[in-house]
Structure 1
Amino acid sequence: MPEVRWAAAALALFLTALPLHLLGAPAWAWGPLYALTYAAGGWEPGWEGLKALKDRTLDVDLLMVVAALGAASIGQVLDGALLIVIFAVSGALEAVATARTADSVRGLLDLAPATATRVLPGGAEEDVPTGSLAVGDTVLVRPGDRVGADGRVLDGASEVDQATITGEPLPVAKQPGDEVFAGTLNGTGALRVRVERDPSDSVIARIVRMVEEAAETKAPTQLFVEKIEQRYSIGMVAATVALFVLPLVLGDDLRSALLRAMTFMIVASPCAVVLATMPPLLSAVANAGRHGVLVKSAVVMEHLGQVDRVALDKTGTLTEGTPRVTEVRPLAAAGREGRPDEDALLALAAAAEYPSEHPLGRAVVAAARLRGL
């Protein structure tokens, strides 16, 4: 990402120049490094700000760059470079957060298989891209394959893992007439499925669109910042000009007036506003997506900060969705005194469940292995 590369370059140059400056090295040692910091971190926001100015909009990007250049003009090269670095790093964080959101969307898309086995009217089979499937087509879903499209089972019986769609941790038994969803994982049986939804309108496709829309929506804080941004920028420029012109009119010298005006512009630069809006929100949405939480909108994410009670649905919402054996309780054997040993009972149960693909059977086998049985 270019934003990250330019921000990294600006930060590296600044951190190289800073100790030289603070240790009293000659200006020729740190001056060029600061100049390169200004160039690396400021050219892109400056260019974007000039394009916005062409459209008669005073952008915060341009305001920050002008404030940094103003600091340099009054000899505060360090302060100006720091402003540039803060702004560049903010832009890089936003770019990274946006890219992570896109990655979470791509991860959801990867759940749906790229191809499906379509069954022709004569019974022949052909592998086709899932995007070419149409409503009414019949597809064959072999054991261990992912379902290629939303549809209904015509023939066959199996258990389908729908955790990616419904959050239900245990596979759901499917038989003729039951609905299946694209991206879900078929179990041990083969299924013939009639496509009932276009691939672009499948449940997984709608989830992807929801995540994309969540990344594009704007939270109340962001809307408020954007609303006042233009007025703030104009007011800041007007105040800076006034602090420069009025003292000159009243007889102050040029250097003092310029120093006062530039000091105000530096202090009033909206660094905190730039850092406190989009990057944290985008990072939160992307992080939630990577952990299986789909955020409907940025508004919802911001409102979570005020939530003190949460209502949750059934299994798999907070749990891992993977059953585990937590305790073995042997019962008295019929017609015998005493009870069988826990390890012996678990070993027998694991031997019986060993061929099973059922999650509870796998949990019994895993518990036996954990005990070394």
Structure 2
Amino acid sequence: MTQTRVPPAPRDRALARPPSILATGVRLPEVRWAAAALLLFLLGWGMQLAAAPAPLWWAAYLACYATGGWEPALAGLRALRDRTLDVDLLMIVAAIAAASIGQVFDGALLIVIFATSGALEAVVTQRTADSVDSLLNLAPEQATLLREDGTTATVASRDLTPGQRILVRPGERIGGDGTVVEGISEVDQQAITGESVPVVRGVGDEVLSGTVNGTGTLTVRITREAGASVIARIVALVEEASGTKARTQLFIERIEQAYSFGVVVATLLVLAVPMLFLGHAFEQALTRAIVFMIVASPCAVVLSTMPPLLASIANAGRHGVLVKSATVMETVGRTTVVAFDKTGTLTEGAPEVTEVGAAAGHTEDEVLALAAAVERYSEHPLGRAIARAAAERDLAVPEAVDFRALPGRGVTGRVGGRAVTVERADAASATTGTVVEVRREGEPVGTVTLVDRLRPDARAAVQAVAGLTTAPAMLLTGDHASAAAAVAERTGVTSVRSRLMPQDKVAVVEDLQSRGERVLLVGDGVNDAPALAAASTGVAMGRRGSDLALDTADVVIVRDELGAVANLVRLSRRARRYVIANLVIAASVIAVLVTWDLVATLPLALAVAGHEGSTVLVALNGARLLRRSAWQSG
């Protein structure tokens, strides 16, 4: 069948509802031409059965030929001009040859089924396109811009820029990716993230373009331009992925030309040998050769690979997982070991105060208040966590002056005229997190222990991937051993490598792969990028991931849901099973029909039905991976 060729789409275009993606070369006229060919075939058949004059039903059949066959014939001739042999051309030649020996009915039947299978292939491919294109309809075309003077204006969502504020009323779709700065409401994110129930979003929480606001009113500060929103990234990356081909598909295409040429040579032998050595009449030998050409053509084989992989890419994209190529989708399922970065991946990259220790003569509240006083102006995550902890305890935090950062160490300032310093303690003293020491005029006041918050789904995600791979999950981190061990214990990771520089992570990955492992690495930071590139599959966390990590990775998890890793591996493996099943079906049908034609008499109509039926079957089988259940069941 004619294969759809899709050029990669640019990543940075805004959501302006472009023509349907994946559908380049897939046109509704294909369906109309197939329907017209069927009607002409039925008209000719009816006249033939009614014993109408032969020229009338011959004319109807020939019109069927022209209606259903002109497009594949043109595609085949263009391929021939480029010195390639297209299977479409083989089908057209077979149909014309059938008419030349008076079997115009069988030739017309071949044209009809061939055109119908092509139309069904177009519909299946369009379904994959529509499943992704439907995301474009989620983004509202307009949003309510909130001006600095408090007035509002209706603007195009695609024109929103970072820093602007929009007003989202109850029931409205959110016009852009941003952060809530005022209000609280429940937001339905199912269409983007797959979450089954609305989630509460308040001040400081992230909201996504196209999600539906609940009963509250929200003021949202835009953080991404329309072209960089989650929806736009899903659409753009799936477009790119759809323009690629898996290794299995590339292998099939490499042998397709040789195979098609072999079919032509074998067809000539099937025509000549019976006449020369078995005494068959020309018409009998030609009929057998025509049947052979039809049943030996690799239409179903060519169509076995891409529909399952494209459907899987679309399904993953619908669940917020961006797979950048068909090759990646094919590779993910071969993963034998999954390695996780720690900070920002298994943990949220947002430390929280877990313990406050006071020196003799001081209280915990005093220690935390002094630390918060000088950390109030710090942009460091540890400083923000200390200030947040003091606010949660409703402590009276004194004013600090002469604030100064101590690069690589901490901060210092003057509180009540006395110097207060907050510095990170020696890593060796940290047991389950990071310890900072609070000193006043050089004298110890106390310590504050902070631990990076574990993602709620981290342990379940580790257990899920451990059940899918032959090797246990690994933790690769640049943090010190005690912090790594604490996270490993809480998540169930049994293999830990700590104090790794970026090049050390690469070395670990390359060592594993030199021993035959296929490594899937999950990370988020700039320091993870080299290892993401070195791994068999690199997976980046989308929300907090660095630009370098997102560009380097093969897969992006948009909503940072670690459970998506196991679902993706299962989906990839299911897609591979579908590809193998399709290849077995296609090869088996070819083998059975070819054998039947060579050792017995295979009716032309049955040959057409069997060959084209297998083509339709493999296309529809691949489309089953578009179902939502395929994401969970794998």
Normalising by structure 1, we get a TM-score of 0.70
- CA shift for structure 1 position 165: 2.2
* Counterpart-to-counterpart distance in 2, 1:252 and 1:233: 26
Match of 2:289 among 258, 264, 267: 264
**Following the alignment from structure 2 to structure 1, what is the Cα–Cα distance between the partners of residues 254 and 282?**
31
How do 1:180-259 residues align onto structure 2 when only pairs under 5 Å count? 180-213=207-240, 215-218=242-245, 222-242=249-269, 256-257=281-282
Q: Deviations over 1:70-97 (max 9, x none)?
A: 1111222222112211211111112222
Q: Measured at CA, do residues 102 and 60 of structure 1 come closer, stay the same or move farther in structure 2, by a change above 3 Å?
A: same
Residue 252 of structure 1 and its aligned partner are, at CA, apart by 10
What is the distance in 1 between the residues matched to 2:45 and 2:113? 14
Kindly indicate whether residue 576 of structure 2 is the aligned counterpart of residue 303 of structure 1.
Answer: yes
| Aligned residue in 2 for 1:32 | 59
TM superposition shift of 1:275: 4.9
Over 3 Å counting, the alpha-carbon distance change for 1:245 and 1:271 in structure 2 is closer
Measured after TM superposition, the shift of residue 139 of structure 1 is 1.5
Distance 1:243 1:169 in 2: 60
Residue aligned with 2:102, SS? coil
Greater alpha carbon shift after TM alignment, 295-304 vs 84-93: 295-304
Matched with 1:285 is 311
Cα RMSD after superposing both structures: 3.7
- Displacement of 1:223 in angstroms is 4.2
Distance of 1:197 and 1:232 partners within structure 2: 50
Amino acid at match of 2:35: A
Partner of residue 129 from structure 2, selected from 77, 102, 107: 102
Instruction: Tell me: CA distance 1:11–1:117, structure 2 relative to 1, closer, same or farther (3 Å).
Output: same
Where in structure 2 are the equivalents of 1:24-173 lying within 5 Å? 26-173=53-200
The amino acid across from 2:140 in the alignment is P
> Which range is displaced more, 137-146 or 277-286?
277-286
Q: Structure 1 residues 306, 11: closer, same or farther in 2, change over 3 A?
A: closer
Return the structure number with greater helix share. Answer: 1
Give the partner amino acid of 1:302.
A
Q: 2: distance between equivalents of 1:80 and 1:146?
A: 54
CA distance in 1, matches of 2:115, 2:319: 30
Structure 1 counterpart of 2:182, which letter?
A: D
Structure 1 residue 259: Cα displacement: 5.0
Letter in 1 for 2:294: S
Alpha-carbon offset, residue 57 of structure 1: 1.1
| SS at 2:294 equivalent | coil
Q: Which amino acid aligns with 2:227?
A: S
- Corresponding residue of 1:175: 202
Whole-Å Cα distance in 2 between the matches of residues 276 and 11 of structure 1? Answer: 25
Aligned residue identity for 1:193: V
Which residue identity does 2:29 align to in structure 1?
Answer: P
Q: 1:67 to 1:232 in 2, by over 3 A?
A: same
Alpha-carbon distance between aligned partners in 1 of 2:577 and 2:179, rounded to the nearest angstrom: 37
Equivalent position of 1:339 in the other structure: none
Q: Which moved more, 1:204-213 or 1:226-235?
A: 204-213
Q: CA deviation at 1:279?
A: 8.9
In the other structure, the counterpart of 2:29 is: 2
- Following TM superposition, by how much is the alpha carbon of 1:176 offset from its aligned partner in structure 2, in angstroms? 1.3
Question: SS at 1:66's partner residue?
Answer: helix
- CA-to-aligned-CA distance 1:114-154 (integer Å, 9 cap, x gap): 11122223333221111111122221212221111111111
Aligned-partner residue type, residue 190 of structure 1: T
Higher strand share: 2
Q: 1:279 to 1:78 in 2, by over 3 A?
A: farther
Structure 1 Cα separation of the partners of residues 42 and 297 of structure 2: 21
Superposition deviation, residue 164 in structure 1? 1.7
Alpha-carbon distance in 2 for matches of 1:10, 1:271: 24
The residue that corresponds to 2:433 in the other structure is none
- Look up the SS of the partner of 2:261 in the other structure: helix
Alpha-carbon distance, 1:272 to partner = 7.2
In the alignment, structure 2 segments of 5+ residues that lack a partner are 1-27, 331-571, 581-627, 630-634
DSSP 3-state at the match of 2:200 = strand
Q: Which AA in structure 2 matches 1:116?
A: A
Shift of the 186–5 alpha-carbon distance from structure 1 to 2, 3 Å rule, reads same
Q: Given that residues 264 and 293 in structure 2 are in contact (C-alpha distance below 8 angstroms), is that contact kept between their aligned partners in structure 1?
A: no
Q: Which amino acid aligns with 1:76?
A: Q
**How far, CA to CA, are the matches of 1:128 and 1:271 in structure 2?**
59
Partner Cα separation in structure 2 for residue 278 and residue 37 of structure 1: 25
- Normalising by structure 2, we get a TM-score of 0.43
Task: Give the deviation of 1:293 after TM superposition.
Answer: 6.3
Distance 2:281 2:319 in 1: 56
Deviates more, 1:296-305 or 1:119-128: 296-305
Are 2:147 and 2:165, in contact at CA under 8 Å, matched by a contact in 1?
Answer: yes
Structure 1 position 180, deviation (Å): 0.8
Relative distance call for 1:85 and 1:177 in structure 2 (3 A) is same
- After superposition, the Cα gap between the structure-2 partners of 1:293 and 1:21, relative to the gap in structure 1 and judged at 3 Å, is farther
* Alpha-carbon distance, 1:6 to partner: 1.1
**1:22 Cα deviation (Å)?**
5.5
Q: Which one-letter code corresponds to 2:198 in the other structure?
A: P
CA deviation after TM superposition for structure 1 residue 103, in Å = 2.7
